[in-house]
Amino acid sequence: MKNNQDYPDPGEFWTNKRVCVTGGDGFLGSYVQEVLAKRGARDVFIPLIEDYDLTDKECIKRMLADASPDVIIHLAALAGGIGANRARPAEFFYKNLMMGVPLMHEAWAAGVGKFVAIGTICAYPKFTPVPFQEENLWEGYPEETNAPYGLAKKMLLVQAQAYRQQYGFNAIYLLPVNLYGPRDNFSLETSHVIPALIRKMIDARERKESEVVLWGDGSPTREFFYAGDAARGIVLAAERYNGSEPVNLGAGMEISIKDLADLIAELVGFEGNIVWDTSKPNGQPRRALDTRRAKAYFGFEAQMPFREGLQKTIQWYLENKDLVK
């Protein structure tokens, strides 16, 4: 176990370091930017998709020349819920693979000092024992609906370990669990479960509808991780962790989708019926992480209570729903 005396001073760590955060203008990226600023990073480059197509090798090279980074935090991804993954599996595989693998290679070639690769909980096997431990990653095939996405992101772990072994490249790999929070994606076509439930139930309440229809049977369990906590974990790992082993990032909790739906209905004041469409897939049966490695390796623990985080997310949506597509 490490103690805080072993860790570098954040202000000293980030002084004179140029940081490139791919996906930095997205949901999680907005929180990472805030945490970096609080911890003393002053030179942060955010490549916008309009300027740099990270699936194009020449764009990657141009971005690295423009950013000249000492540290890359690679958040950029094509992601979505079960519906989006089922509808676009080829895109989810190709774009995530081609955003990640060439970027890490070109970062190594350009002499970047550290690469922080953000993986996904979807990389775990479908029937991973709960709580998921990092050593379980290779013990089976991922859940089918998001396997193309999960495997594309998982290749960054293979690459990080191979490049560390052969080239001494300081690439680390983090596995955040399902994120939520203010500023999330509330599109019903591409959102994840929490923003989708919040939007559906608020819309139903305002329209005085008697029911909402949800996918599956409500039995799967999930762990949910406040985006502000996730950002803090990612930045702490960037500062403090320099190892080859993958590291889970999560809140150490588990809730069924049925209980989640009931809780959100209570918090938003929806009093109608919840109908489960069992013709639709459930996704992975259970998800919850063993988070001890993050605490041991870089002193990270989640702080946001789940109910409070949901309330903050609901309040943000109520204040911004006219702007949400």
Give the pLDDT score at 18.
Answer: 98
CB of 73 within 8 A of CB of 22?
yes
Q: Does residue 7 carry a catalytic annotation?
A: no
Task: Output the pTM of the full model.
Answer: 0.94
Q: How far apart are CA 237 and CA 217, in angstroms?
A: 37
Quick one: pLDDT band at residue 60, thresholds 50, 70, 90?
Answer: very high
For residue 42, what is the DSSP state?
A: -
pLDDT at 3 over 60: no
Give the pLDDT score at 214.
Answer: 94
Specify which residues 215 forms β-bridges with: 277
**3.90.1300.10, 1.25.40.10, 3.40.50.720, 3.40.50.1820: CATH of 4-182+224-253+286-304:** 3.40.50.720
Quick one: pLDDT band at residue 2, thresholds 50, 70, 90?
Answer: very low
The amino acid that residue 148 corresponds to is P
Q: How far apart are CA 83 and CA 85, in angstroms?
A: 5
Quick one: pLDDT band at residue 284, thresholds 50, 70, 90?
Answer: confident
Q: Which of 31, 52, 124, 149 is catalytic?
A: 149
Q: What is the pLDDT of residues 93-118, one digit of tens each?
A: 999 999 999 999 999 999 999 999 99
Burial 148-174 (b: 16+ CB within 10 A, else e): bbbbbbbbbbebbbebbeeeebbbbbb
Write down the domain spans for the chain. Answer: 4-182+224-253+286-304
CB of 216 within 8 A of CB of 281?
yes
Give the pLDDT score at 112.
Answer: 98
Average pLDDT, the chain: 94
CA distances to 224, 238, 264, 278, 312 from 304, rounded to whole Å, are: 11, 21, 17, 32, 10
CB of 108 within 8 A of CB of 164?
no
Question: What mean pLDDT comes out for the span 126-130?
Answer: 93
Give the pLDDT score at 245.
Answer: 98
Q: What is the pLDDT of residues 255-283, one digit of tens each?
A: 999 999 999 999 999 999 999 999 998 88
The amino acid that residue 38 corresponds to is K
